[in-house]
Structure 1
């Protein structure tokens, strides 16, 4: 499935702005399970569709992998929660070894994400009040940056061990969840989340911040806590 974007939308990518918005779907929904999406032109991005729900609009979580990562390695962080909670789980693939802004500028990864969101919104009735952007490590830094810029689209940002956030335009006031290991040697907590979180709170964002006794990882209980407000159905 392809999408044509206006010149204004393409210009917005350079500033980190997404144009896709949920609306009445016109395409056929995909069955439950894991699907490769080719709207980005590489069939590496993935979408997990939960078992059929009892009805109503579906929550959506976009999950961004870390540096040198891949959707297949990122999906297990939240896949079980998506199945239990009844939410769509979209995992894009970065064009390079990590996300574009970490190399200095927005562009190709925003274009890919916009195309993927258009496809998901065209196939499923997504709840506009329950769209979250999540990420781990470099993906968490990207999720914070993109989520704050696109706060009209994302109601919740889930940052697992972020390193930084890029200053820029901000819109809306999405709720923010941050977790970080006290023994993280990849992105040390003192230089990262312990600096990021106070700045977010000073800017008026509601932040649920969880430190844990561990390293550069995502504990399963914290992953579940992060998505609990989005779940369509309770575990069990």
Structure 2
């Protein structure tokens, strides 16, 4: 495991160069070994540099749930979606310390270049996955230009590199991660730390709303 994984830093940088072995539209499983499961959803169209969204599932989730939540709207906008599975019931930072999940993501990003070209990258997630995105994103602001956090609980960036834009959405009726001590607190904390923060509160519970995904993607891509 690279030493950088323990610090939350990602070394790989997906290239914008034409891929050696371009993948057609659809869902592809990366071959990383060691029991790692990572899916990549490629939108329709001819191979070309596309935006890449890395999306982390909630606790006890799986990559297919990530793709179900954001994949259709990402595909409509020509966005690649990379969906890893956590090595344990939740992500390494939340269950103990950074390491294995960071290394798997780094390996997946390194493998992408043979199959897709990437123009820009963002990181997002739901629930524990949103907390993980709010932790890894600010630690890798030289890779990710934005963080899309759906109902996060906390943020624990191990280091700060760059200042990616932050988008947070949270339901006022969330009984799993209450909005007062989660979404509102996090938005205020990042704003106070000189990040550009957009906070979107909605009437609902602990869910990923299709309209929220559409708004987040439009905000990131500048199409809203």
Displacement of 1:231 after TM fit?
Answer: 4.9
Contact kept, 8 Å, 1:40 with 1:116, in 2: the verdict is: no
2:24 paired with 1:34: no
With over 3 angstroms needed to count, the CA separation of the structure-2 counterparts of 1:231 and 1:162, relative to structure 1, is same
What is the rounded CA distance, in whole Å, between the counterparts of 1:133 and 1:115 in structure 2?
16
With over 3 angstroms needed to count, the CA separation of the structure-2 counterparts of 1:14 and 1:222, relative to structure 1, is same
| CA offsets 1:80-139 (integer angstroms, 9 cap, x no match) | 112110011110011000000002210000010001111113322211xx2110100000
With over 3 angstroms needed to count, the CA separation of the structure-2 counterparts of 1:210 and 1:21, relative to structure 1, is same
2:134 paired with 1:144: yes
| CA offsets 1:1-39 (integer angstroms, 9 cap, x no match) | xxxxxx8xx111101000001223553111100111122
Map 1:180-219 onto structure 2 (within 5 A): 180-219=170-209
SS at match of 1:132: strand
Map 1:218-233 onto structure 2 (within 5 A): 218-231=208-221
Question: TM-score normalised to the size of structure 2?
Answer: 0.94
Structure 1, unaligned stretches of length 5 or more? 1-6
Displacement of 1:146 after TM fit?
Answer: 0.2
More displaced, 26-35 or 209-218? 26-35
Structure 2, unaligned stretches of length 5 or more? none
Root-mean-square deviation over aligned CA pairs: 1.9
Displacement of 1:204 after TM fit?
Answer: 0.7
What is the rounded CA distance, in whole Å, between the counterparts of 2:187 and 2:61 in structure 1?
25
| CA offsets 1:190-213 (integer angstroms, 9 cap, x no match) | 111111111100111111100000
What is the rounded CA distance, in whole Å, between the counterparts of 1:91 and 1:211 in structure 2?
25
What's 1:113 paired with? 105
What is the rounded CA distance, in whole Å, between the counterparts of 1:29 and 1:212 in structure 2?
39
2:86 paired with 1:94: yes
What's 2:43 paired with? 50
What's 1:3 paired with? none
What is the rounded CA distance, in whole Å, between the counterparts of 1:74 and 1:37 in structure 2?
15
SS at match of 1:223: helix
Give the total of aligned pairs: 223
Map 1:163-174 onto structure 2 (within 5 A): 163-174=153-164
What is the rounded CA distance, in whole Å, between the counterparts of 1:220 and 1:63 in structure 2?
15
More displaced, 191-200 or 34-43? 34-43
Question: TM-score normalised to the size of structure 1?
Answer: 0.89
